[in-house]
Amino acid sequence: MLDRPSCQALDHDDPLAAFRERFLLPEGAIYLDGNSLGALPKAVPGRVREVVAREWGEGLIRSWNAAHWIDLPRRVGDKIAPLIGAEPGEVVAADSTSVNLFKLLSAALELRKGRSVILSEADNFPTDLYVAEGVRDQLGRGHRLRLVAGEELVSAIDEEVAVVMATQVNFRTGFRHDLDAVTAAAHRQGALMLWDLSHSVGAMPVALGRADADLAVGCGYKYLNGGPGAPAFLYVHRDLQDRIRPPLSGWMGHREPFAFERDYAPAEGIARNLCGTPPILALAALDAALDLWRDVDLDALRRKSIALSELFIGLVEERCAGLGLTLATPRDAERRGSQVSLRHPEGYAVMQALIAEGVIGDFRSPDLLRFGFTPLYLRYVDVFDSAVALEKILRRQGWDRPEFRRRATVT
């Protein structure tokens, strides 16, 4: 396995190394939680100050036109589109992932009347399942939520399924679904395919267009680095856009919002999926964060993601053998996203001890230490140092302290 000087040499030759300088990273910290909240791009604070001080402070309401605030949801959507293999006009930034999932799941069931099943996996991100339960109960038309193991998803698709709702990369284990294969399986049975891309967009190439996927949602605050609670996005295949009647028929999705007509008439295209007034400050931050992606080679991004996670797994297997860790992430790089999850019976306390050492990951119940590998600002030497810190804590049982066992609200 590589030593620290070898990792430094890899950093020297890394074609993505220069992107690290475009982020504000705290001194003395190794940040392995970009899969939960991305680091701050240096371009964002200045852009937000400009919007607050000049566009809002001086332009006031005139900036809806003069500063083109009204176009931000679609403009930001068009910046996200190439990152998920979509075309301009197929993506819009709006609301949260959960709200967008509600909108698209409701619309999908309307498009597949006569079919009763929402199919998903039992270990999907909980909010996705909560939303599906809410849509099912609100519609009151006898829909059922069928949950299966991730590896059984394709074989469970039958003629009863209206929509397959899947997250491409599992939030706990990092298991990665084959987007093309699952989409094709759904279509063979006449079902619509709805993807949650929250743990894949910005970490790897995503090819919705190539797969002919129908619908997708994703968040802006993980690998896209849009800031805490950043607006999410939704994708609708161009062929479906004018067939959808949004369940949240707000004024921004109207064909003429400022005509103030009495009755709702949906806008043409992707814009009908808007609802309320867009959050301009949050959208401006995400807009600025997305600018750096114009210079990113997504294939190089994926290669580095795999290299970082392979290095980490190898170091942990070498240095931490017999110390209570179990790999929860697929060992095959093609079957995982850009994270590595390790099981340990004292996982929460171990993670808190790591954070105290400056290695910031996170914990997922009941026993998962979760490490995200964000190729744009993470170095190979950071991965080496993280593995060394983990080994030290486990060998010395440095996690066995009361302050590390005390559960915080956010884990």
- Catalytic (active site) residue 221: yes
- Catalytic (active site) residue 222: yes
Given 222, 336, 364, 379, the catalytic residue: 222
Q: Which two tokens stand for residue 227?
A: 């800031």
- Catalytic (active site) residue 396: no
Q: Which two tokens stand for residue 34?
A: 């970009």
In this structure, what are the phi and psi dihedrals at residue 11, rounded to the nearest 5 degrees? -65, -40
Domain with CATH 3.40.640.10 in the chain: 64-295
Do the strands 192-196 and 215-218 form a parallel or antiparallel pair, or are they unpaired? parallel
Q: Where are the beta strands (DSSP E) in 33-190?
A: 40-41, 91-93, 117-121, 144-148, 161-167
Given 196, 214, 362, 382, the catalytic residue: 196
CA dihedral 185, 188, 191, 192 (to 10 degrees): 70
User: Do 91 and 84 touch, CB atoms closer than 8 A?
Assistant: yes
Domain with CATH 3.90.1150.10 in the chain: 4-16+297-405
Q: Domain 64-295 is of which CATH architecture? A: 3-Layer(aba) Sandwich (3.40)
Cβ neighbours around 299 below 10 Å, total: 10
Cβ neighbours around 204 below 10 Å, total: 23
Q: What is the pLDDT along the chain (411 residues), one digit of tens a residue?
A: 789 999 999 999 999 999 999 999 999 999 999 999 999 999 999 999 999 999 999 999 999 999 999 999 999 999 999 999 999 999 999 999 999 999 999 999 999 999 999 999 999 999 999 999 999 999 989 999 999 999 999 999 999 999 999 999 999 999 999 999 999 999 999 999 999 999 999 999 999 999 999 999 999 999 999 999 999 999 999 999 999 999 999 999 999 999 999 999 999 999 999 999 999 999 999 999 999 999 999 999 999 999 999 999 999 999 999 999 999 999 999 999 999 999 999 999 999 999 999 999 999 999 999 999 999 999 999 999 999 999 999 999 999 999 999 999 998
pTM across the whole model: 0.96
Given 272, 370, 384, 404, the catalytic residue: 370
- Catalytic (active site) residue 125: yes
Given 221, 312, 377, 404, the catalytic residue: 221
Given 125, 171, 223, 384, the catalytic residue: 125
Q: Which two tokens stand for residue 148?
A: 């299966």
Topology annotation, domain 4-16+297-405: Aspartate Aminotransferase, domain 1 (3.90.1150)
Helices 380-395 and 298-319 cross at an angle (nearest 10°) of 20
